[in-house]
């Protein structure tokens, strides 16, 4: 079975078999984002965790092995991700719930740690998303958000390449979760200003692929309520 082009995140679409992709997820836990999540939760107990835009639940799978995580919820709006994740990745994990859910449909729940990776650039009302996440956090709870860096070398080179003419954008194919579906491009200053505007306080930030900028860099911002 070859993963077809998915509507939301085109990165799963290439020539990789589903078996190989699942194996890569399970055997590749040492990512910066996962290390950041573990570090943020290291002094917490009985953590209730929410992954917004969880795709197939890779972070849920790895964090379920940590003793201090009591409940791990993951949501996504792409049915195929949820179906594949529940069938091949998080099935049988008692403290994991991966569901086809819109963030704004979650009510009467509170979380200690919320994670949203590579999503904010795709939404047309980022302030509404950040406000909703703030409301779902316990007092003192943490929010980890990641997004491609507007100051990355890849983005700078793209701007140089198309310095004189942006009309190529009019003919881009949309709906594949790539940069063609980005409403906004964030740097660390504007991203924190957005979070701070609803009440979040700064904790820390990191940059992925710091020494491999041609790979594409993401801002990893850690804030708390």
Q: How is domain 30-224 classified at the CATH fold level? A: Rossmann fold (3.40.50)
* Cα angle 83, 122, 136; round to 5: 75
Sketch the domain layout of the chain as residue ranges.
30-224
Strands 137-148 and 201-207: unpaired
pLDDT in tens, 22-68: 888 899 888 999 999 999 999 999 999 999 999 999 999 999 999 99
* Residues 6+ away with beta carbon under 8 Å from 172: 180
* Closest C-alpha to 76, from 112, 103, 46, 96: 103
**60 or 20, higher pLDDT:** 60
At residue 8, the pLDDT reads 38
Report which secondary-structure segment, H or E, holds 73: strand 69-76
Contact by Cβ (8 Å): 108, 78: no
């Amino acid at each position: 079975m070859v993963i077809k082009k998915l509507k939301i995140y085109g990165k799963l679409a290439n020539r990789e078999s589903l078996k190989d992709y699942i194996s890569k997820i399970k055997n590749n836990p040492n990512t910066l984002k996962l290390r950041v999540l573990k570090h943020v939760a290291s002094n917490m107990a009985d953590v209730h965790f929410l992954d917004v835009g969880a795709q197939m639940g890779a972070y849920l799978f790895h964090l379920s092995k940590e003793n201090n995580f009591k409940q791990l919820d993951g949501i996504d709006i792409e049915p195929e991700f949820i179906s594949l994740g529940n069938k091949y990745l998080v099935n049988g994990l008692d403290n994991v719930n991966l569901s086809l859910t819109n963030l704004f449909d979650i009510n009467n729940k509170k979380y200690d740690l919320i994670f949203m990776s590579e999503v904010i650039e795709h939404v047309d009302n980022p302030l509404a998303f950040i406000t909703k996440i703030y409301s779902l956090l316990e007092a003192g709870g943490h929010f980890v958000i990641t997004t491609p860096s507007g100051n990355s070398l890849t983005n700078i080179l793209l701007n140089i390449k198309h310095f004189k003419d942006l009309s190529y954008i009019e003919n881009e194919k949309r709906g594949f979760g790539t940069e063609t579906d980005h409403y906004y491009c964030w740097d660390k200053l504007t991203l924190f200003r957005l979070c701070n505007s609803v009440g979040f306080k700064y904790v820390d930030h990191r940059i992925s692929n710091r020494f491999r900028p041609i790979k594409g860099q993401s801002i990893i911002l850690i804030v708390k309520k």
